[in-house]
């Protein structure tokens, strides 16, 4: 008889700083392209959304920030589109702020005739009301582990509207507005149904009020090398 399969330990929650070190090591030391990680993150988020709703039920509203968390949301949108889901897409900030990899996904989506609603300020927020009313599920890709300080506008007001809608939410990596270390809300914070933790879960999802914002936490490696994700 061969050796029994190695037991996989439950992934341990980490601080934001530790997760950022791990991401940097995967990208810079090992050379895993950021676009490749984003593609896997998007696929993981799309699969979580697929567990909660079917294409025939109605649109999914994908709300993205201008950082890499937003890029993960745009990557998820590409998969969901290929699986036949109707989508509504929002970018909270100027589109020209998107960095290379998120901009790649934004271009693909636009060329597939999926319009991106650009909400750079609170004046444009009323345009989010219609997709919010129409959708059956929200993907929260506004803010992840790169959040600094209290949540600024227009994202703060958008979070209030998302929560008020009562629609189920899949949060990417961390519910927007939740401090990934302390579990404290940085102003308004998204109340998620499911949080798809990328790489390793963040401590804030389990501390203080964190669990009431994060909902069920699913952990996805997104192909960050295993050696970085398993430690004592
Ligand atoms: N290696 C990877 O590519 C990789 C691996 C794993 C996960 N991820 C994903 O990338 C995320 C981290 O990406 P990131 O470092 O770009 O950070 P982020 O979480 O996307 O946040 C950065 C963005 O949020 C804005 N922002 C920061 N603080 C804010 C505040 N208080 N209020 C409103 N807006 C604020 C920033 O705008 P300003 O620049 O104007 O401040 C920037 O647009 C992770 O959570 C995960 O989703 C990426």
- What is the residue-level pLDDT of the chain in tens, covering all 232 positions? 556 555 555 679 999 999 999 999 999 999 999 999 999 999 999 999 999 999 999 999 999 999 999 999 999 999 999 999 999 999 999 999 999 999 999 999 999 999 999 999 999 999 999 999 999 999 999 999 999 999 999 999 999 999 999 999 999 999 999 999 999 998 999 999 999 999 999 999 999 999 999 999 999 999 999 999 986 5
Q: Which atom of ligand 1 is nearest to the CA of 146?
A: 17
Question: Which mutation among 20, 120, 141, 146 tests ligand 1's pocket best, with the greatest number of atoms within 8 A of CB?
Answer: 146
Are residues 220 and 44 in contact, defined by beta-carbon separation less than 8 angstroms? yes
Asked if CATH classification 3.40.50.10260 holds for the domain at 16-229, the reply, yes or no, is yes
CA atoms within a 13 Å half-sphere pointing along the CA-CB vector of 205? 29
Nearest to 47 by CA among 210, 194, 230: 194
CA of 84 to the centre of ligand 1 (A): 28
Backbone φ and ψ for 52, nearest 5 degrees, come out as: -100, -20
Are residues 177 and 205 in contact, defined by beta-carbon separation less than 8 angstroms? no
What is the value of pTM for the model shown?
A: 0.95
CA of 114 to the centre of ligand 1 (A): 23
Tokens of 229: 């994700």
Give the three-class secondary structure for 218: strand
Domain boundaries, the chain: 16-229
Backbone φ and ψ for 75, nearest 5 degrees, come out as: -65, -40
CA distance 135 to 182: 31
CA atoms within a 13 Å half-sphere pointing along the CA-CB vector of 25? 14
């Amino acid at each position: 008889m061969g050796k029994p399969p190695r037991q996989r330990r439950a992934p341990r929650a980490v601080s934001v700083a530790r997760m950022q070190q791990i991401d940097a090591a995967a990208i810079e030391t090992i050379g895993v392209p950021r676009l490749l990680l984003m593609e896997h993150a998007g696929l993981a988020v799309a699969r979580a959304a697929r567990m909660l709703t079917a294409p025939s039920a109605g649109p999914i509203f994908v709300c993205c920030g201008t950082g890499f968390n937003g890029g993960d949301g745009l990557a998820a949108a590409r998969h969901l589109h290929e699986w036949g889901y109707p989508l509504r897409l929002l970018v909270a900030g100027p589109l020209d702020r998107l960095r290379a990899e998120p901009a790649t996904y934004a271009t693909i989506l636009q060329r597939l005739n999926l319009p991106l609603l650009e909400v750079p300020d609170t004046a444009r927020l009323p345009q989010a009301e219609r997709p919010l009313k129409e959708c059956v599920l929200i993907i929260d890709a506004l803010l992840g582990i790169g959040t600094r300080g209290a949540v600024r506008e227009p994202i703060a007001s958008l979070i209030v509207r998302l929560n008020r809608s009562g629609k189920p939410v899949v949060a990417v990596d961390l519910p927007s507005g939740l401090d990934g270390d302390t579990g404290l809300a940085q102003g308004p914070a998204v109340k998620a149904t499911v949080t798809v933790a990328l790489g390793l879960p963040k401590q804030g999802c389990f501390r203080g009020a964190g669990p009431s914002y994060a909902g069920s936490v699913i952990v996805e490696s997104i192909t960050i090398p295993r050696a970085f994700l398993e430690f004592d």
